[in-house]
Amino acid sequence: MALRLGTREFGPDELVVMAIVNRTPDSFFDRGATFADEAAFAAADRAVAEGAAILDIGGVKAGPGEEVGVEEELRRTVPFVAELRERHPDVVISVDTWRHEVGEAVCAVGADLLNDAWGGFDPKLAEVAAKYGAGLVCTHAGGAEPRTRPHRVGYEDVMADILAVTVGLAERALELGVRRDGLIIDPGHDFGKNTRHSLEATRRLPEMTATGFPVLVSLSNKDFVGETLDRPVDERLLGTLATTAVSAWLGARIYRAHQVAETRQVLDMVASIRGTRPPAVARRGLA
């Protein structure tokens, strides 16, 4: 299926990096490193230079923490998105939000994609995407409320639940008028899941790609990687990249990442092994 976001069209074999730019003082990985405007713009510029085609802007930490109301989320995201649109007219700008009020405001100033990481918690968000012609990420969060951690969560078949929810959200979005070539599904690693659920979701990614919708995976430095390898947040890069390579081989197309350059190299290597990308140079044995 074709994927069109903003001014960009991505081919079916194209592996895309979505760079994370957090506008929060308490993000789990960078701990507020890009909360200040100039630090955030510098991070965005660097991500684009390193190969990110999508910039994902988040104004609220995913996990529990200080309450962030609509007005504060708007303050953190809207002016930044507007300026980012001026600085990078051809880059896809995504905003990670579950609130339709925020979706409306960021789309009005140039956002191309709404990353609904909490699985349709606010059903009006899909209506906003339809209104503005924006793309929409339909995520499985196991019915969890925003900013909550999973507790004693269980599934008879985790992938069956993922498929029912994400495809259901995508079909509803289509009925509301969201463009089919702007719809993406995401298994929601860690969201409403324990580590074994996230591992199973990864190895069963072909069941998601078989739906025809492009699949996004948000793997970067997550708890399922940390628990699998028993590593703290700042020592999860190798596990993240291993999971990235496996996910690419299994057909996922978009990779939400903190470390763009490393992710880009892994995806390029997988694409070259798969035969959809030529080597950057080829000298050995040719002279």
* Residue range 144-148: mean pLDDT, rounded: 94
How many residues are listed for the chain in this entry? 287
> Tell me, what's the pLDDT at 26?
86
The region that residue 99 occupies, defined by phi over 0 for left and psi between -120 and 50 for alpha, beta otherwise, is beta
Closest CA to 179 of 53, 55, 1: 1
Domain spans of the chain? 18-274
Residue 30: pLDDT band with limits 50, 70, 90:
confident
Q: Is the confidence at residue 1, as pLDDT, over 80?
A: no
18-274 has which fold? Answer: TIM Barrel (3.20.20)
> Tell me, what's the pLDDT at 286?
87
Q: Is the confidence at residue 28, as pLDDT, over 90?
A: no
- Active-site residue, selected from the candidate residues 99, 236, 253, 256: 256
* Residue range 192-220: mean pLDDT, rounded: 98
> Tell me, what's the pLDDT at 137?
98
pLDDT in tens, 228-284: 999 999 999 999 999 999 999 999 999 999 999 999 999 999 999 999 999 999 999
Q: Is the confidence at residue 31, as pLDDT, over 90?
A: no
**% helix, strand, coil for the chain, step of 5:** 45, 15, 40
* Residue range 126-143: mean pLDDT, rounded: 98
Identify whether 256 is a catalytic site residue.
yes
> Tell me, what's the pLDDT at 70?
98
CA 13 to chain centre: 18
Q: Are 117 and 96 in contact (CB under 8 A)?
A: yes
> Tell me, what's the pLDDT at 287?
74
How many Å apart are CA 17 and CA 216, to the nearest integer? 10
- Active-site residue, selected from the candidate residues 222, 236, 253, 264: 222
Closest CA to 258 of 36, 15, 5, 58: 58
* Residue range 54-72: mean pLDDT, rounded: 95
How many Å apart are CA 129 and CA 19, to the nearest integer? 21
Summary mean pLDDT of the chain: 97
Identify whether 193 is a catalytic site residue.
no
> Tell me, what's the pLDDT at 248?
98
Q: What is the residue-wise DSSP string for 28-58? A: TTTTTTT-SHHHHHHHHHHHHHTT-SEEEEE
What's the distance, Cα to Cα, between the start and end of the chain in Å? 41
pLDDT in tens, 77-116: 999 999 999 999 999 999 999 999 999 999 999 999 999 9
Residue 27: pLDDT band with limits 50, 70, 90:
confident
